[in-house]
């Protein structure tokens, strides 16, 4: 039996960070051995909210590609490409736009919440409203069986299913109904205790130098009740402890015990975590250094990926056009 197909995308929003690694990319790296995987840089989606300031976009796309490959995505094991290289995504998006009721789009929960979150931007655009339709095209053009995503993306996957069903109902079966593969991982806190996110400026980037990683960890906020070293700690409210649970699972219980009994000071605890992270990022750093020695490989990799993706995308687009009477 042929392998099931997995597809996912990530917006190029600058340097990828530990939250992206734990929340998505490590999962992708695991899937690439088992499934027929397509992973892409969602540059058009980045434009839906950043259309007024694209000056860094080209550099960000490159950075995201370097980060993904350094983190372990292997172009020999999966197809890696950039969304805007595949015009078929846009064409299918237009076809889907014909059958997508406006009411479906305005009730997607991320629509209102994102507008609220990015108040300073004018997101009353056609492109932003259509964000999930383009995402449905991304997924369905490869007839993906599974879409690994975080919880925040579930409404988009649900809408994708609704568009697939509606298309199949109007024009006859073409699209399989994709399933989400929910990343089980809890969100990683950033250096300030809020969710790690580029927009909060609290990230530890995969490409941060070891010195930078150590410095950021040493500045992290810990249990606010621990003012003196012999104050008993509460690891459950400490972001550094969250890092232990992720990056030093086996040692986490012991750390919690020592913290609660005030047998471990925060300065030493953070220093140890700095070392753990530096070690964790070492293989990623190594691959990055190697990749950066051959910058032309990055363009080639995306071009090759686009070539492979196009084979599938062209076929599906032709089928959809035929069903809709265009061919």
Closest to 25 in 3D by CA, of 149, 132, 140 = 149
Sole binder of ligand TRP in the list 11, 183, 222, 316 (CB under 6 A): 11
**For the residues of 71-126, what is the DSSP string, one character each?**
TT--TTTSEEEEGGG-HHHHHHHHHHHHH--HHHHHT-HHHHHHHHHTTTS---SH
- Which ranges of the chain would DSSP assign to H, the alpha helix? 18-20, 26-34, 43-50, 57-70, 87-99, 102-106, 109-117, 126-129, 131-140, 154-171, 210-218, 239-247, 249-260, 266-292, 296-323
**For the residues of 262-287, what is the DSSP string, one character each?**
T-S-HHHHHHHHHHHHHHHHHHHHHH
Size of the site for ligand SF4 (CB under 6 A): 14
Q: Of 21-29, 115-123, 141-149, 266-274, which part binds ligand SF4 (CB under 6 A)?
A: 266-274
Sole binder of ligand SF4 in the list 134, 238, 302, 313 (CB under 6 A): 238
Name residues contacting ligand TRP, limited to 135-164 (CB under 6 A). 135, 138-139, 147, 149, 153, 156
Sole binder of ligand SF4 in the list 23, 178, 235, 274 (CB under 6 A): 235
Q: Of 148 and 235, which CB lies nearer to ligand SF4 in the complex structure?
A: 235
| Minimum CB–partner distance for residue 224 and ligand SF4 (Å) | 9
17 binds, among ligand SF4, ligand TRP, none (CB under 5 to 8 A by kind): none
223 binds, among ligand TRP, ligand SF4, none (CB under 5 to 8 A by kind): ligand SF4
Closest to 19 in 3D by CA, of 243, 288, 276 = 243
For residue 323, give the DSSP letter: H
Name residues contacting ligand SF4, limited to 191-210 (CB under 6 A). none
Binding flag, residue 233, ligand SF4 (CB under 6 A): yes
Q: Of 121 and 271, which CB lies nearer to ligand SF4 in the complex structure?
A: 271
Indicate the burial class of 186 (C-beta count within 10 angstroms; 0-12, 13-18, 19 or more).
exposed
259 binds, among ligand TRP, ligand SF4, none (CB under 5 to 8 A by kind): ligand SF4
Both structure tokens of 176: 């399989």
Q: Of 7-15, 28-36, 55-63, 182-190, which part binds ligand TRP (CB under 6 A)?
A: 7-15
Q: Which helix (H) or strand (E) segment is 181 a member of?
A: strand 179-182
| Minimum CB–partner distance for residue 269 and ligand SF4 (Å) | 3
Those residues whose C-beta lies under 8 Å from the C-beta of residue 231, and which sit 6 or more positions away, are 225, 262
Q: Of 255 and 312, which CB lies nearer to ligand SF4 in the complex structure?
A: 255
Size of the site for ligand TRP (CB under 6 A): 14
240 binds, among ligand SF4, ligand TRP, none (CB under 5 to 8 A by kind): ligand SF4
| Whole-angstrom distance, CA of residue 89 vs CA of residue 138 | 6
Closest to 231 in 3D by CA, of 200, 262, 202 = 262
Both structure tokens of 229: 């070293």
End-to-end CA distance of the chain: 31
270 binds, among ligand TRP, ligand SF4, none (CB under 5 to 8 A by kind): ligand SF4
| Minimum CB–partner distance for residue 238 and ligand TRP (Å) | 28
301 binds, among ligand TRP, ligand SF4, none (CB under 5 to 8 A by kind): none
The residue ranges that bind ligand SF4 (CB under 6 A) are 222-223, 226, 233, 235, 238, 240-241, 255, 259, 264, 266, 269-270
């Amino acid at each position: 039996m042929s392998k099931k197909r997995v597809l996912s995308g990530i917006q190029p929003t600058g340097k990828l960070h530990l939250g992206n690694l734990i929340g998505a990319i490590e999962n992708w790296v695991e899937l690439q051995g088992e499934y027929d995987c397509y992973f892409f840089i969602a540059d058009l989606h980045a434009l839906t909210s950043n259309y007024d300031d694209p000056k860094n976009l080209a550099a960000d796309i490159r950075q995201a590609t370097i980060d993904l490959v350094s983190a372990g995505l292997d172009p020999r094991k999966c197809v890696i490409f950039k969304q805007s290289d595949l015009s078929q995504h846009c064409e299918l998006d237009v076809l889907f736009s014909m059958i997508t009721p406006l009411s479906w789009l305005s009730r997607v929960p991320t629509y209102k919440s994102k507008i609220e979150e990015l108040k300073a931007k004018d997101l009353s655009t056609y492109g932003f409203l259509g964000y999930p339709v383009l995402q449905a095209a991304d997924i369905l053009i490869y007839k993906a069986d599974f879409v690994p995503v975080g919880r925040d993306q579930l409404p988009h996957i649900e809408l994708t299913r609704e568009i697939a069903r509606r298309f199949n109902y109007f024009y006859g079966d073409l699209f399989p109904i994709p399933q989400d593969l929910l990343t089980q991982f809890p969100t990683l806190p950033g250096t300030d205790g809020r969710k790690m996110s580029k927009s909060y400026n609290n990230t530890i980037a995969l490409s941060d130098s070891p010195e930078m990683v150590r410095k950021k960890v040493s500045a992290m906020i810990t249990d606010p009740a621990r003012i003196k070293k012999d104050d008993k700690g509460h690891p459950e409210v400490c972001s550094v402890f969250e890092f232990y649970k992720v990056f030093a699972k086996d040692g986490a219980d012991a750390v919690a015990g020592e913290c609660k009994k005030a047998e471990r000071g925060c300065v030493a605890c953070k220093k140890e975590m700095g070392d753990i992270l530096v070690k964790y990022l070492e293989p990623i750093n190594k691959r990055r250094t190697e990749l950066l020695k051959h910058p032309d490989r990055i363009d080639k990799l995306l071009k090759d990926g686009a070539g492979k993706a196009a084979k599938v995308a062209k076929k599906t687009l032709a089928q959809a056009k035929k069903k809709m009477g265009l061919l």
